[in-house]
Structures are given as C-alpha cells and as structure tokens.
A and B are shown apart, each in its own frame.
Chain A
Amino acid sequence: MTDLTTPLHAWHIEHGANMAAFGGYDMPLWYSSAKNEHLAVLQTAGIFDTSHMAVVRVEGPGAFDLLQATFTNDLAGCIGPSRKPLVPGRAVYGAFLNKHGHVVDDSIIFMMSASCYLAVVNAGMGPAVTQHLQAQASGRETAVTDLSGSFGKIDVQGPQAANIMAAVLADPVAAFEKLPYFAFKGCFSERMPAAGEIRLRDGHPVLLSRTGYTGEFGFEVFTPAEALVSIWESILAAGEAAGALPCGLAARDSLRGGAVLPLSHQDIGDWPFSNHPWPFALPYNEGGHGFRKTFVGDQALLAAGDAPHTLPFVGRDLRKVTLPARVLDDTGREVGDVLTCVTDMGIGRAGDRIYSVASPDAPEGFTAKGLSCGFVRVDRALAVGTALELKDQRRRIPVWIVDDIRPDRTARRPLTGFWQE
C-alpha cells in the first residue's frame, strides 16, 4: 500500500523521527525516546500529530436518527449518571457495528448542532465508515461526508496541556470556561457555524476538545489542514520551557494501554462487541440483559452468549510478549489469545500495589521500572486477580487479570486544577 502522509511528514523526518506505517500512513513511532515521550505525558506534556485520523460528517434533519440507529452509545441518554441527551458541544464514545455485532470502527461523535455531527474514526477508516453509514441512511434525510485529509489534528496531553494551549489561544479564559471531559468548542472549518467560537492567536479557527487517547488530562485540537504545520510549531514552542515533547505513536500506544483504552481492529474487531471493559459504550438497560434502544448489531450482541471475553491484564515486570501470543490458565490449558501487550514505562510495583510516576502517594524513593500490560481475549469470564501465563514463540510471562492499570490518571479532572488565569 502506498503510504499516505500528514502535512507534518517532512517535519517528522527533519526532526529525526523513527517512522513506521500505521493505518496506511507513514507516521512517527518516536523521535529520540519513546520512554521519555511516554513519561512527558505523565509529567509535563506530550504533543502528537494525529492528523492520520478520519472525520465523517453526518448532517441533515435525519442525522440524529441515523446515528441513533447505527452507533452503540445512546445519543438520547449518554451524558452523566442521569443519562442526559447529547447536546451541542459534547462528545460521546461508542462504536459502529455490522449486523453480526462486529466492529466496523470505534468513534467519538461530536455534536455540532441538532442537525450536524462529526464522527471521529480511525486512520484510513473514513471511506469504510462513510459507506457503512450511507448504506443505513435510506429514507433518512442526511448527507454523510468523509472529511479525511481536509483537517489537521494535534493532541496536547499531560498536566501542562492547558498552560501550553493558553499561550496559543486568542482567548483562553473563554475557551476554557465550562470545558469538562468530553466537551468541546469551535470548529476547524470556517464553513461551520461554531468556527468563530475558538480561534488561535494567529486567527485560525480550531475545534478544541477535552478528549485524547492517553488517559491523561489534555486536548485534541482539530485545525485547518493548511495551518497544521504552523500551529504545530507554535504549540511546540509554547511547550518547550515546560519540557513538553513531540511524541510518536509508540508512546501513544503504551499510554492508551495503561489507560485501558482499546485500539480498534486489534482489541475490538471482527467479533461481538460485548464482554469487554467498555460497557459504557453500550446502551444497557437497568438489568444489563437488554438495550434501551435498537441499533445495527444489537440482536447479534444479545444472542452472542458465547462471545469471547476481553480483559485487561498487568504483568509481573516490564517484560512483554510479541504477538501472536497465547493465553494459558493455571493448569497450562490454552484459554485465548493476546490482543495487546505493551509496556507502560510510567508505572511500577511497590509493596502490593502499582504506582505511577504521577501518583501523589507513591512511597519515597519510588522509581517506575515499567510493567507490561494490555488485553487478552479468553473463552470465559475471569475474576480480577486471576493468574495467567502469556506465551509467545520465545517466552512465557506471568500476568494477572485486573480492573484497571495505570493509577491516578488525570483525563477526567477539572481543568481548573491545571490552569489559573
């Protein structure tokens, strides 16, 4: 496959990035050190070029109905514990499934207005998701458009993210006001009504969102494609004094692993989207045995009683297995396979628990040596604490099923804890 590139490709090469193919794009894996880039997100900030991701616009009077009929989360009841409806300026995570309940792709849907939504999907998935939605759109008054390549995207993640963005935003006070986790303002296209809402000091409109893929406090910044390089450089310059680093996909992968976030087409994919650590992405009813709405794939999910179970694990030390790798139970019987195995270099064990370099209660002298972690897919439900072995061609490593991996993550914390006017 010919490698696609983002407008920052030349910048990455010039700055010594170790490049690799991902989702059809030639992307930086790391610049000088994946470990330092991972730690920067936990301790200062990391700045990622994520312009390889795709955006699909769904607009028209039938947009809500089309998404409600195809997306796993319930747009009429997804905000907060009282399940309020999605409103303009808020975003929601879920997946698009086929009729077998298998994942076409996962997505965060941004509600721009009552008749316009942006579905952010994975690299290279713009055409497939557009086609999938168009196929379901018959009879509904909607237009589904793949916006891939018409925008740039920069993720600014870590405790210094608000200070860095404050230095490049025209009006940071207005931008940051009432901007909780999964809220956003503005748009990257002048054509959209929200475009004037958030501008950078250089005048460019951006969509500023309290989302990310690291588990840590920060923003996703959607920019006009033609302004990506200059905005990237101004964000990097704003972060330099704080020790922020440009980061590649290796750090992104290890951070999201420790944050128990799935990688589409690896941790979720051609099997039923159920029995996984992300039940909030499905509209379960009170009893958990049915759904509050109907959507493509719902009946298949309810019927898939024997669907495999996807569970997070942590290893004893930082050693990992290389895929493909199998999962063995304590009798040595094969019970499944390994979906993701990465090393979170920001965590380690002390006594009987795991701390992160950012844990306020880490014991004195704690150094994070790193722990392997990720997801296994097994043929049965397993309780937290279950001991397993992962086996690749070379080695076996002991791991335990857990309900969470990297402690003291900051993604959901109020912005006011990271920034003062």
Chain B
Amino acid sequence: MKELSELNLPEDLRYTKDHEWARTDGDKVTIGITDFAQDQLGDIVFVELPETGDSFAAGDEFGTVESVKAVSELYMPLGGEVVAINESLEDAPELVNNAPYDKGWMLAVKPSDPGEFDQLMDRAAYLEMLKGSE
C-alpha cells in the first residue's frame, strides 16, 4: 500500500471525498478515480459505466468499480450529461490501476453547472482530507 507521500495527485485536477477526480478539457469534464482509490481497491477487474447520453446530478452513483477485494460505487463529482465513456476499460480494466489519470479515465461529461467544478477540492485540500483519515 502506498504511503501518502508516494501518491500521484496531479495539481491540475479537482478531487472528491469519494476519491474521484475531475479535469476540465474545453467544455467537457473528464472523470476517473484517484491513485489513492486504485491503490486501496487493488487489482481492478471490472468497471461498470453508464451510457453516453445519460444524465446525472452531482453525487449520483454513475457506476461501479470491481476489484478482487470488493465492489465499490462511483459517484459523480458534478452534474451533467455523459458525452463519452472509456470503452477500452471493458477489455483492460487494469488501466485504472496502471494509469488512473490518463488511460484509466472513466467518462467525460458536459457539465450542467460549470460552477460545480470550482466547488471540488484542490490537491492540497484532498491531501489534507487523506491525512485526516489516516
């Protein structure tokens, strides 16, 4: 298990208390789970994602991530319509372990309220939260 100092937590992302990350990319926001989450879950063997066109509010469950250890819910960092899902996770769910912020992204949404992004935690706040839960 990684020490907090070993975690990869990029500066340009925003984070949630449920260990999802969000990144703005033009008018879209890309979403995945953090290095901390993938490390805690262990080998990810299945990712259940919604379909393009589905809409969610912030905090809604949008899918599950299944590791050898457990099945965990995925929650929307912000509301919006799903405009893309990472289809490569169907055959290669381990991408979430190997590259959680890159090839292991999960979905892209068109936010219904772009202001919600700014309410998410930045790196420092997320790290502080992780320290508090140790």
Say whether A and B bind each other.
yes
Nearest-Cβ distance from residue B99 to partner chain A, whole angstroms: 15
Nearest-Cβ distance from residue A14 to partner chain B, whole angstroms: 12
**Chain A residue contacts of B40, Cβ below 8 A:** 18
**Chain A residue contacts of B46, Cβ below 8 A:** 317-319
Nearest residue (CB) in A for B6 is A16
A314 to B12, CA, bound (A): 44
For the complex of A and B, 7 pairs with smallest distance between CB atoms: A35-B43, A34-B68, A18-B1, A33-B43, A322-B71, A34-B42, A34-B43
**Chain A residue contacts of B17, Cβ below 8 A:** none
Q: Which residues of B contact A (CB under 8 A)?
A: 1-2, 40, 42-43, 45-46, 64, 66, 68-71, 73
A35 to B44, CA, bound (A): 9
Nearest-Cβ distance from residue A395 to partner chain B, whole angstroms: 8
Q: Are A18 and B45 in contact (CB under 8 A)?
A: no
**Chain A residue contacts of B73, Cβ below 8 A:** 394
In the complex with contacts A16-B1, A19-B1, A320-B66, A29-B71 CB distance below 8 A: no
In the complex with contacts A33-B42, A343-B45, A319-B68 CB distance below 8 A: no
A394 to B1, CA, bound (A): 27
In the complex with contacts A35-B45, A370-B45, A254-B68 CB distance below 8 A: yes
A320 to B40, CA, bound (A): 18
**What total of chain A residues lie within 8 Å of the partner, measured CB to CB?**
24
Extra A-B contacts (6), CB below 8 Å, given A34-B69, A318-B66: A35-B68, A38-B68, A250-B68, A319-B71, A345-B68, A394-B71
A17 at the interface (CB under 8 A from B): yes
Contact with B along A309-322 (1 / 0, CB 8 A): 00000000111111
In the complex with contacts A34-B42, A35-B43, A370-B45, A322-B69 CB distance below 8 A: no
Contact with B along A13-31 (1 / 0, CB 8 A): 0001111000000000110
Nearest residue (CB) in A for B40 is A18
Q: Are A250 and B45 in contact (CB under 8 A)?
A: no
Nearest-Cβ distance from residue A390 to partner chain B, whole angstroms: 12
**Chain B residue contacts of A320, Cβ below 8 A:** 66, 71
In the complex with contacts A16-B1, A17-B1, A394-B64, A250-B71 CB distance below 8 A: no
A395 to B46, CA, bound (A): 14
Q: Of residues 342 to 369 in A, which have CB atoms within 8 Å of B's CB atoms?
A: 343, 345
In the complex with contacts A34-B43, A250-B42, A343-B68 CB distance below 8 A: yes
Nearest-Cβ distance from residue B67 to partner chain A, whole angstroms: 8
A33 to B45, CA, bound (A): 11
A320 to B65, CA, bound (A): 11
A268 to B1, CA, bound (A): 32
A250 to B68, CA, bound (A): 8
Q: Which of A16, A318, A321, A322 contacts B45 (CB 8 A)?
A: A318
**Chain A residue contacts of B43, Cβ below 8 A:** 30, 33-36, 345
Nearest-Cβ distance from residue A75 to partner chain B, whole angstroms: 38
**Chain A residue contacts of B66, Cβ below 8 A:** 318-320
Q: Are A345 and B45 in contact (CB under 8 A)?
A: yes
Q: Are A250 and B64 in contact (CB under 8 A)?
A: no
